[in-house]
Structure 1
Amino acid sequence: MNLLQEFVHDIPLTTPLTWEHPPLKWEPLPNGGMRVHVPAEVDYFRSPTGALVKDDAPYLWRYVSGDFVARAHVRPAHTNTYDAGALMVRHDERNWAKICYESTDFGTRAAVSVVTRDVSDDANGADLELPDLWLQICRVGDVFGMHYAPDGKSWRMVRLFHLAAPRTIQVGLVAQCPIGSGTTVDFLHFSIEQRTVQDLRAGA
């Protein structure tokens, strides 16, 4: 089993991890997880105005079928505005959603969500001046819940939404740097559990 496969905390790992748009480099961290070196001006976003379409950020994903709970513990360097570590679900380039721990254009750090159905929306959540953050996406049928937690336990809902998607979709990690000259993102944990939560709003 290679280092990327060992990084995913689910049993069994039924499909391999794949880089879409590989980073400049990635390296294991001493206490687990990995650091991703992100190139300049990369993102996933389809502007509501049609002025910008970006589909080129480093994205490490695997296929997941049916209901699931995906979690990531992210520590972005926050070098530039909009830099983020994110958790993303994706059907294709026009149908996807991500929850990010992002450096906002208001000079804060926040849990930011984007849902894309041909075009993307963009919603800033709570400001969180923390060095790292846990992110979660749960799926039940075609309904998804997004959550964050400072401690990986006390989940707070960011978003509940519908996304028409096949039973099997991509689930993975995004490291973005939309307008800067590059950054790093540490992913300290990534897990996927194939189970159905009882309360999508609570994420449990």
Structure 2
Amino acid sequence: MVKKKLFVLASLVLCFFSAVAAPPDSVRIKGIPHPCTWINPPKNFEVTPEGLSITATQGTDFYNYPGGGYNIATAPILVFKPDKDFVLTAKIKVDFKKMYDGGAIYVMVDSTQYIKFLFENSQYGTLSVCSGVTNTYTDDSNNAVTTKNEVYFRLAKSGNLYGLFYSPDGQRWEAIRLVNFVPKGPVSIGFSSQSPLGESCTSIFSEIVYTPGAFKNPKTGDM
């Protein structure tokens, strides 16, 4: 009887800690060892065997105009708490329809401090790899142009140094930028889709690989 009571008690303790570790509204996706939650709900989303699909509704974006006077923080972002250092790689495929449709990976603190790594249908009529670092205002930069609606992104962290890298095929990597980013609060990493001008935009994230530990190569993001 004593053993039975101890077993029941241990089961209750395990259930309690499981509930704490994975809240009921959390989302689990392939390749990410931590539970994810939403900043702004999406129009639709689907967890697939390959990864994740996010559909953003009309008027969704995260952007603080560098000249001031315009701020928007409506894009859905599925975030998780990362390890101290890490390397995150994923393929992003976007069903581009309108200008500024895009899929992104974020380093998120709050709506005034974040890094946005974006695959976007740019104002120039090209599919662009973009990045922006927001500290109250967003520094907005188009960094590369691709010809297909899918691209590989890599976000890597070592201390306060964040590296943003892209590849057309997942093999040949190029550095977009290195950022010394000192957050004023806890950091989350997230996947997002946006459609500032269109009716909706779906971004698909697959081949997700997340590895704890600092990156060593500033040209490719490799550990």
The TM-score, its normalising length taken from structure 1, stands at 0.90
Q: Post-superposition shift, 1:167? A: 8.5
Q: Report the counterpart of residue 135 of structure 1 in structure 2.
A: 153
Indicate yes or no: 2:64 matched with 1:46.
Answer: yes
Task: State the distance in 2 between where 1:150 and 1:17 align.
Answer: 27
Tell me how far 1:133 sits from its aligned partner: 0.7
Counterpart residue type for residue 66 of structure 2? P
For residues 162-190 of structure 1, give each alpha carbon's deviation from its aligned partner in whole angstroms, at most 9, with x where no partner exists. 11126951001011112222221122233
Q: 1:152 aligns with which of 170, 176, 195?
A: 170
Please tell me whether the aligned partners of residues 70 and 190 of structure 1 are also in contact (alpha carbons under 8 angstroms).
Answer: yes
Residue 8 (structure 1) aligns with: 30
| Runs of 4+ in structure 1 over 4 Å off | none
**What is the alpha-carbon root mean square deviation over aligned residues?**
2.0
1:192 to 185, 191, 210: 210
Deviation track 1:63-83 (CA, whole Å, cap 9, x = no partner) reads 113111112211111111111
CA contact (8 A) 1:100 1:113 kept: yes
Q: For structure 2, list consecutive stretches of 5 or more residues without a partner in the other structure.
A: 1-21
- What is the deviation of 1:202? 2.4
What pairs up with 1:57-136 in 2 under 5 angstroms?
Answer: 57-136=75-154
Q: Which amino acid aligns with 1:54?
A: I
Matching of residue 180 in structure 1 with residue 202 in structure 2:
no
- Whether the 8 Å CA contact 1:66–1:167 is kept in 2: the answer is no
The structure with the largest alpha-carbon Rg is: 2
Q: Distance in 2 between matches of 1:83 and 1:175?
A: 8
Opposite residue 216 of structure 2, the aligned amino acid is Q
> CA offsets per residue over residues 5-26 of structure 1, 9 Å max, x none?
1x2314xx2x420011111111
Residue 117 and residue 16 in structure 1: after superposition, are their counterparts in 2 closer, same or farther (change >3 A)?
A: same
% identical equivalent positions: 25
Distance in 1 of aligned mates of 2:69 and 2:44: 30
- Does 2:31 correspond to 1:17? no
Compute the displacement of 1:131 (Å): 2.4
- When the two structures are aligned, how many residues end up with a matched partner? 199
2:74 maps to 1:56: yes
CA distance in 2, matches of 1:202, 1:4: 30
Q: Do the aligned residues in 2 keep the contact of 1:65 with 1:169 (CA within 8 Å)?
A: no
